[in-house]
């Protein structure tokens, strides 16, 4: 199972990825921020924007949240397909498609493909929040969190 | 029989003298190759070994 | 290699029940065996050839050796010594099936036990082909075929005896290499120039990149030094004023603290953000909704895939209806639509995780606010630092302004160099891909490219080299074969003609050329198309003698009726000539050859005379000794003698 960073994300996050002490701790951080936006927007991005695998399974810092991420994927997919929430068999079928209890990430191969597409979609969205590529982690965090409507940013 | 007729030996000498560019090492190895062929003391890889010593316009490569 | 015939033995071969000719361990140089026509001369020579080479015999031929209907097996033994070692060759005949089998007994192997097949020492084994064996187990037929242009006898004999056939084989092997390289070369030649160019380009690019890496590294170090120096200089400049100095120190301290604080807050926020339900309310809400929806749908259901599979195996449904094959199929396929045990586990884990993902949104917001504030503080401190510097500047310190400018520039340079260094040196494939580096900008990629180009280039080069080399060697071998062949033929030709001068002085018959056949010429006629049988025989003897004269093999010479068609004078010449040229000669003669031929051996010490005849009741008798030999008289031979004279 593999996680793939959206192709343009590397360039956009370059300074944050290269700066050891004051930047992202792993590439997965960059991936995750894109992914969350994409899942939230129910937007799968273009297939040809999916990049190369940068890690096979969850890195240690994200391992505790693997079930929640699986849940968010299910939630986004149900919504994207407009599956009637009371249609039990369709819901069940969709879940079966996306999960693989035998995989280290608990997601099926199809689930991973979708996850990476959501990361691409998320990146497209969040890039528009920034006038230019973020120069520092603090700049990034503050701008990023604005879109989630935290009260701090009013 | 471990020697070859004088005619054949002379033929080898003449042919080598008339050739161009062969190294001393090649000449000695080549002569032995023929002797081995005649007395039946040859294996396939011997041929390639000697071929690789023959002269050529192309360099060794890196 | 020295081969002698020590004797032979016939068992149940035609008229010979059990006849042994024993020439002893040191066989005489000349053996004359008087054997009337019809007693088995031809058979004996044939058998000798069959034993020595792997000449085939037809079923008819074999059966023709059968003495009578009661006998179903026969045997011929040929006893040899090869370089002093005893080697006996056996040919056993089965007259019923008309087949033969060969065996060998060598003194050296296995205390002389029988080995299956014809097993001669090393080189002898493949030298003695049927064609070659006829050169020294010899009858009048050879004399004719040696001069027959249609056949290849003469020059092939030379070729074989001196083993040029093996040089031929070597040349064949080289030719095959040349052929395959020829094909490869055609393909390679076009691309070679290109490959060389690309290799050299990659090589020089790598050089440049490596050089650049060193340069950039040095630049980084140098720039760091410069930046440090400039900062020190700037601060010194500012701190010249005691009060300003104090303010500078405080501000610098405050800046350090605020930087640390920001790093800490970043780390915390990053850590908290990783929990999706902490990232935003919206997310948490969605997760919770999903959880309760699943609960509402009673997913995972108590009815699971396992239930359906078990049902499929049962005879009756729980509802009481029987389950047939169609129903079974439907049930099994539906099972795959339902969550299996394990998947239920995942869903449950998710629900648990949700329940336990209590994140404190308040804490998160607080940290974020703190970050914003701290960034504001940092801006203020930077402004303060700038102000301090500006004050100095206003006081007319152009130098300070210059330093600040310089510092800004240098810091920018440093960042650029560090980025360039990263670009040059990263070997992370993800980075290379993400930032779009290729081998012209990145050292690890360039090294890989160079290796690949080198590999291709060397492969191409190898082809070109091998082609040249095999061409060279093939030509050399052809040259050698031609020269050697010519020299050998010349020698044999000259030696033959020398002998012919004494054998046939009057006619000056000479070998003009040894092409495929012995081509003759004479003074009287330009090309001698037809010579008499006697002359032809003389030529054959002269040739064979010259051929074997200096050969690396010493072989026994066995001749059937050596002199029958020669006139007396030539007989004497032949009788004088041949024996001197072979270490061992065995003549099979008929009584009419005694005069002029056999009689010239009577005086030689060490000549042996054997007379074989078949008596009235079909038994063959052997008599030793010169007296019996001289006295022997045969009816058939007399008649023959009348005809040929």
Pairing of strands C557-560, C137-138: parallel
Assign C172 a pLDDT band (cuts: 50, 70, 90).
Answer: very high
Asked whether the predicted pLDDT for residue C340 surpasses 50, the reply is yes
C421: left (phi over 0), alpha (psi -120 to 50) or beta: alpha
Q: Tokens representing A117?
A: 């597409």
Ordered DSSP codes for A4-29: EEETTHHHHTHHHHH-STTS-SSHHH
Instruction: Indicate if the pLDDT at residue C151 is higher than 70.
Output: no
Round to whole Å and give the CA distance between C387 and C595: 144
3-state DSSP assignment of residue C16: strand
Contact B57/C468, CB-based, under 8 Å? Answer: yes
Q: What average pLDDT does this structure show over C489-499?
A: 89
Interface residues of chain C, partner chain B, Cβ below 8 Å:
1, 122-123, 126, 162-164, 166-167, 169-170, 173-174, 177, 454, 457-458, 461-462, 464-466, 468-470, 472-473, 476-477, 479-481, 483-484, 487-488, 491, 550, 552-553
Work out the pLDDT band at C541, boundaries 50, 70, 90.
confident
H/E segment holding residue C81: strand C73-82
CB contacts < 8 A (B, C)? 110
Structure confidence at residue C547 as a pLDDT band (50, 70, 90): confident
| Chain A residues touching residue C430 (CB < 8 angstroms) | 5, 10, 27, 51-54
DSSP state letters, A65-106: GHHHHHHHHHHHHHHHTT--TT-HHHHHHHHHHHB-TTSTTS
Q: Is the confidence at residue C528, as pLDDT, over 60?
A: no
DSSP state, C186? H
Name the closest residue on chain C to residue A35, using Cα atoms.
C276
User: Domain map of chain C by residue range?
Assistant: 235-434
Q: 3-state secondary structure string, C439-481?
A: CCCCHHHHHHHHHHHHHHHHHHHHHHHHHHHHHHHHHHHHHHH
**Cβ separation C480–B11 shorter than 8 A:** yes
Per-chain mean pLDDT for chain A = 88
pLDDT one-digit tens code per residue, C438-473: 899 999 999 999 999 888 888 888 888 999 999 999
Residues B7/C484, Cβ–Cβ less than 8 Å: yes
Chain B neighbors of C469, CB-CB under 8 A: 51-56
Question: Which residue in chain B is spatially nearest to C474 when comparing CA positions?
Answer: B51
- Output the six-digit token pair for C569: 């004078």
Q: What number of C-beta contacts closer than 8 Å exist between A and C?
A: 156
A46: closest CA of chain C, how far (Å): 16
pLDDT of residue C519: 79
Query: A140: part of which helix (H) or strand (E)?
Result: helix A137-146
Q: Chain-wide mean pLDDT for chain C?
A: 82
Query: 3-class SS at C78?
Result: strand
Inter-CA distances, C148 with A67, A71, C493, C514, C529, Å: 98, 100, 16, 11, 10
Cis peptide leading into residue C373 (ω within 30°): no
Neighbouring chains of A at 3+ CB pairs under 8 Å are: C
pLDDT(C318) > 60? no
The arithmetic mean of pLDDT across residues A35-50, rounded, is 91
- Could you say which residues from 109 to 148 on chain A have a Cβ atom under 8 Å away from some Cβ of chain C? 137-138, 141-142, 145, 148
Report angle CA A31, A37, A42 to the nearest 5 degrees. 120
- Token pair belonging to C424: 């040059």
- pLDDT tens for residues C255-272? 999 999 999 999 999 999
Calculate how close chain A gets to C295, using CA atoms only, in Å. Answer: 11
Query: Which tens digits make up the pLDDT trace of A83-113?
Result: 888 888 888 888 888 888 788 898 999 999 9
pLDDT at C581 over 50: yes
Task: Specify the DSSP class assigned to residue A128.
Answer: T
Q: The pTM is what? A: 0.59
Q: Return the residue in A92, A118, A151 with the most chain C beta carbons within 10 A, the one to mutate for interface testing.
A: A92
Angstroms from C190 CA to nearest CA on chain B: 15
Q: DSSP character for C340?
A: P
- B39–C484 CB contact, under 8 Å: no
CA C309 – CA C338 distance, rounded (Å) = 11
pLDDT score, position C9:
94
Q: How far is CA C147 from CA C129, C132, C156, in A?
A: 20, 16, 13
Residue numbers of chain B with a pLDDT score lower than 70: 1-2, 62
> Above pLDDT 90, what percent of chain A?
49
Above 60 in pLDDT, residue C17?
yes
Distance in angstroms (rounded) separating the CA atoms of residues C474 and C170: 9
- Report the pLDDT averaged over residues A5-21: 86
Which residue would you say has higher pLDDT here, C43 or C315?
Answer: C43
Measured CA to CA in angstroms, residue A121 lies from A24, A115, C384, C431 at distances of: 20, 10, 43, 21
**Cα dihedral C476, C482, C485, C489 sign:** negative
Model confidence over C601-616: pLDDT tens digits?
888 888 899 998 877 6
């Amino acid at each position: 199972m593999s996680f793939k960073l959206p192709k343009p994300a590397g360039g956009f996050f370059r300074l944050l990825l290269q700066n050891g002490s004051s930047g992202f701790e792993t590439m997965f951080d960059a991936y995750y921020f894109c992914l969350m936006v994409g899942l939230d927007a129910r937007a799968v991005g273009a297939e040809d924007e999916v990049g190369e695998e940068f890690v096979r399974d969850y890195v240690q810092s994200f391992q505790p949240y693997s079930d929640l991420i699986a849940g968010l994927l299910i939630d986004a997919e149900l919504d994207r397909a407009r599956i009637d929430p009371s249609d039990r068999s369709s819901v069940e079928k969709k879940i079966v498609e996306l999960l693989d209890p035998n995989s280290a990430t608990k997601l099926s191969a199809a689930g991973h493909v979708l996850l990476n597409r959501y990361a691409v979609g998320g990146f497209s969205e969040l890039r528009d929040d920034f006038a230019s590529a973020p120069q520092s982690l603090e700049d990034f965090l503050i701008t990023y969190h604005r879109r989630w409507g935290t009260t701090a940013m009013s | 029989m471990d020697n070859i007729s004088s005619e054949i030996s002379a033929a080898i000498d003449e042919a080598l003298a008339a050739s161009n560019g062969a190294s001393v090492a090649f000449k000695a190895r080549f002569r032995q190759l023929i002797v081995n062929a005649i007395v039946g003391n040859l294996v396939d890889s011997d041929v390639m070994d000697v071929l690789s010593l023959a002269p050529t316009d192309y360099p060794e490569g890196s | 290699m020295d081969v002698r015939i020590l004797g032979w033995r016939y068992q149940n071969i035609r008229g010979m029940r059990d006849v042994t000719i024993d020439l002893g361990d040191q066989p005489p140089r000349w053996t004359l065996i008087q054997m009337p026509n019809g007693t088995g001369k031809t058979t004996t020579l044939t058998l000798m050839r069959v034993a020595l080479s792997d000449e085939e015999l037809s079923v008819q031929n074999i059966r023709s050796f059968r003495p009578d209907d009661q006998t179903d097996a026969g045997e011929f033994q040929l006893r040899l010594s090869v370089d002093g070692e005893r080697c006996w060759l056996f040919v056993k005949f089965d007259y019923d099936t008309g087949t033969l089998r060969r065996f060998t007994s060598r003194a050296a192997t296995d205390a002389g036990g029988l080995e299956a097949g014809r097993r001669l020492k090393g080189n002898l084994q493949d030298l003695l082909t049927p064609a070659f064996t006829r050169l020294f187990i010899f009858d009048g037929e050879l004399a004719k075929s040696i001069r027959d242009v249609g056949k290849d006898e003469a020059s092939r004999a030379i070729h074989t005896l001196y083993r040029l056939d093996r040089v031929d084989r070597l040349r064949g092997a080289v030719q095959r290499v040349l052929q395959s390289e020829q094909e490869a070369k055609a393909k390679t030649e076009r691309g070679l120039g290109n490959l060389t160019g690309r290799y050299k380009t990659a090589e020089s690019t790598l050089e440049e990149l490596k050089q650049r890496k060193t340069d950039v590294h040095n630049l980084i170090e140098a720039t760091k030094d410069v930046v440090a120096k400039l900062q020190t200089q700037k601060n010194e400049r500012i701190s010249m004023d005691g009060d300003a100095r104090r303010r500078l120190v405080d501000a610098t301290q405050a800046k350090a603290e605020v930087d640390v604080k920001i790093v800490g807050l970043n780390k915390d926020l990053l850590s908290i953000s990783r929990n999706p339900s902490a990232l935003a309310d919206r997310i948490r809400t969605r997760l919770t909704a999903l959880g309760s929806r699943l609960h509402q749908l009673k997913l995972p259901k108590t009815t699971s895939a396992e239930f359906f599979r078990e049902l499929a195996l049962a005879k009756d449904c729980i509802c009481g209806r029987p389950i047939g094959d169609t129903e079974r199929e439907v049930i099994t396929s539906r099972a795959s639509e339902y969550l299996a045990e394990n998947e239920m586990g995942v869903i449950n884990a998710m629900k648990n995780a949700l329940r336990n993902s209590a994140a404190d949104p308040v804490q998160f917001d607080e940290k974020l606010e703190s970050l914003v504030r701290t960034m504001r503080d940092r801006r203020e401190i930077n402004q303060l630092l700038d102000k301090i510097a500006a004050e100095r500047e206003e006081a007319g310190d152009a130098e300070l302004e210059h330093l600040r400018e310089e510092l800004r520039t240098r810091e920018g340079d440093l960042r650029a160099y560090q980025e360039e260094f990263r670009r040059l040196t990263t070997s992370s494939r993800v980075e290379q891909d993400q930032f779009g580096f290729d081998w012209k900008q990145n050292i690890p990629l360039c090294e890989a490219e160079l290796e690949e180009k080198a590999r291709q280039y060397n492969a191409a080069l190898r082809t070109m080299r091998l082609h040249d080399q095999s061409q060279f060697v093939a030509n050399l071998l052809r040259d050698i074969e031609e020269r050697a062949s010519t020299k050998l033929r010349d020698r044999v030709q000259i030696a033959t003609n020398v002998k012919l001068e004494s054998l046939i002085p009057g006619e000056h018959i000479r070998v003009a050329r040894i092409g495929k056949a012995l081509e003759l010429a004479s003074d009287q006629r330009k090309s001698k198309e037809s010579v008499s049988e006697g002359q032809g025989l003389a030529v054959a003897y002269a040739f064979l003698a010259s051929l074997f004269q200096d050969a690396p093999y010493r072989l026994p010479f066995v001749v059937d009726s050596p002199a029958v068609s020669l006139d007396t004078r030539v007989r004497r010449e032949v009788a004088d000539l041949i024996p001197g040229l072979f270490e061992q000669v065995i003549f099979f003669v008929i009584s009419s050859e005694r005069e002029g031929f056999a009689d010239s051996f009577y005086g030689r010490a060490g000549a042996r005379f054997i007379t074989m005849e078949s008596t009235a009741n079909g038994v063959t008798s052997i008599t030793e000794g010169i007296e019996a030999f001289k006295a022997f008289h045969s009816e058939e031979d007399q008649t023959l003698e009348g005809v040929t004279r």
